[in-house]
Amino acid sequence: MACRRPIAWFSLACALWAAAPAQADPPVPRTSDLVLTRIKAADTGQLAVSEEDGRFLRFLVVSKGAKRALEIGGASGYSAIWIGLGLRETGGRLVTIEFDPARARDAEANVRAAGLSDVVTVVAGDAFAAIPRLPGTFDFVFLDAWKRDYQRFFELVFPRLDVGGFFVAHNVVNKASEMGDFLETLRSHPRLRSAIVSPSGEGVSVSLKR
Ligand SMILES: C[S@@+](CC[C@H](N)C(=O)[O-])C[C@H]1O[C@@H](n2cnc3c(N)ncnc32)[C@H](O)[C@@H]1O
């Protein structure tokens, strides 16, 4: 938007636009907000998704009306809390799987502190072993484990993804070189319609199962 014309009303509109908050989505409940801030402050390894990507995940969950969500690679629960906030609105549930036992314990404590224990279940262990033990199908899958495993996780989960469901994957821009096979699948799979967005430079793919 170019704010150059010296017309009073237009200048006022420009001023209001410039003063508008950067985020247009609804505010985060205070308890969850405090937990999200604390996780970020402690995240020295920068495992968690960016705040922008977290907000985008919540938006996707709400706009899809997702009810049965799965996250692969939960770390300390940052993205699980964003997804959980969306599921709080849709009445859905999330299972998040984390390999590292200490991180899984952290995630559980953080989910509880965020007031989302009734929405988010943390499973500790290897997702390759845990997913076959989970019941039913999923309508929203968020993949954020080790990047070289993306294609194998896709093959494991795709048969359990509902038609019309979303398969969402993180780091498809900044770590694209580690997941060439998966990105080729997104490009060429006949039952996928995909888009890639990059709210904070890491890249999020969103694939609809047809
Ligand atoms: C980038 S971090 C996830 C960050 C998290 N999604 C967030 O935004 O808060 C990747 C996590 O995946 C976990 N992971 C990697 N391979 C896994 C597997 N096979 N099963 C379960 N977790 C795995 C790692 O232990 C690590 O904590």
Atom of ligand 1 nearest to the CA of 75: 27
Ligand 1 atom 13 nearest Cα: 73
How many structural domains compose the chain? 1
pLDDT score for 7: 44
Would you say residue 21 lies in a domain? no
Q: Write the burial class of residue 109 (CB in 10 Å: 0-12 exposed, 13-18 middle, 19+ buried).
A: middle
Question: 109-149, pLDDT tens digit by residue?
Answer: 999 999 999 999 999 999 999 999 999 999 999 999 999 99
Would you say residue 14 lies in a domain? no
Question: 67-120, pLDDT tens digit by residue?
Answer: 999 999 999 999 999 999 999 999 999 999 999 999 999 999 999 999 999 999
Handedness of CA 160, 63, 199, 35 (dihedral sign): negative
- Evaluate if residue 9 carries a pLDDT over 60: no
Would you say residue 4 lies in a domain? no
pLDDT score for 24: 85
Would you say residue 45 lies in a domain? yes
pLDDT score for 22: 61
Beta strand spans in 58-118 (E): 68-72, 93-98
Do 59 and 86 contact (CB within 8 A), yes or no? yes
- Evaluate if residue 207 carries a pLDDT over 90: yes
Compute the distance between CA of residue 119 and CA of residue 136 in angstroms, rounded to an integer: 17
State if residue 103 touches ligand 1 by the CB under 6 angstroms criterion.
yes
Distance 145 CA to ligand 1 centre (A): 4
Would you say residue 90 lies in a domain? yes
CATH number for the domain spanning 63: value is 3.40.50.150
- Evaluate if residue 11 carries a pLDDT over 70: no
At residue 144's C-alpha, the angle toward residues 146 and 48, to 5°, is 105
- Evaluate if residue 183 carries a pLDDT over 90: yes
Average pLDDT, the chain: 92
Would you say residue 9 lies in a domain? no
Do 53 and 133 contact (CB within 8 A), yes or no? no
Do 107 and 36 contact (CB within 8 A), yes or no? no
Ligand 1 atom 27 nearest Cα: 75
The mean per-residue pLDDT over the stretch 166-181 comes to 98
pLDDT score for 6: 43
Is the model's pTM score more than 0.75? yes
Would you say residue 3 lies in a domain? no
Would you say residue 138 lies in a domain? yes
pLDDT score for 23: 74
| Domain coverage including residue 88 | 28-209
The mean per-residue pLDDT over the stretch 180-200 comes to 97
